[in-house]
A = this chain, B = another copy of it.
């Protein structure tokens, strides 16, 4: 029976990583659809989303961002928050994940890439479901901070 327990442990690890990969892969479609409550539910109740001078500290804050005039303007013109495949490191009920992203937007002159970003996630299993406790997003504009997010994320820090 030891073998069975070991197999279960290996399977559980994959399930955990995949649950987090799916959560992160859901962010773009949900935020571009304007599904404010569903986006917010990816975060813990008091989860943080810290993005370029916009600090959100709760699910309610995240939902308000999706409903804001700024975001609604983006999605009614057409936009794609395109996140790459996440690299996930699970440690018990905590996890770190990282991915790069591009924001592609439509405007009067056509379609262009408006932003390239580094995304670092901390997650926790709460009530049996993985939730984001902190997401930090920084533009890849040459500054060290964004590059450190990438390096830390891949190292599982």
Interface residues of A (CB under 8 A from B): 3-4, 7-8, 10-11, 14-15, 17-18, 21-22, 25-26, 28-30, 32-35, 38, 75-87, 98-100, 102, 104, 106, 110-118, 139-142, 146-148, 150-151, 153-155
Contact = CB atoms under 8 A, between A and B. Distances in A.
A29 B10 CA distance: 26
Contact of A33 (B18, B25, B99, B148): B148
Given A29-B100, A34-B147, A141 B106 contact: yes
A143 to B, nearest CB: 8
Contacts of A82: 84, 100, 102
A139 B78 contact: yes
Contact of A112 (B80, B81, B83, B111): B111
Nearest to A76: B142
Contact of A84 (B10, B83, B106): B83
23 contacts: A3-B4, A7-B8, A10-B15, A14-B14, A29-B87, A30-B151, A32-B100, A32-B147, A33-B150, A33-B154, A35-B154, A75-B147, A77-B142, A78-B141, A80-B117, A82-B100, A82-B102, A83-B85, A106-B116, A111-B113, A111-B115, A111-B116, A112-B112
Top 9 nearest A-B pairs (CB, nearest first) are A29-B150, A80-B116, A33-B150, A25-B85, A78-B141, A33-B151, A33-B147, A78-B142, A76-B142
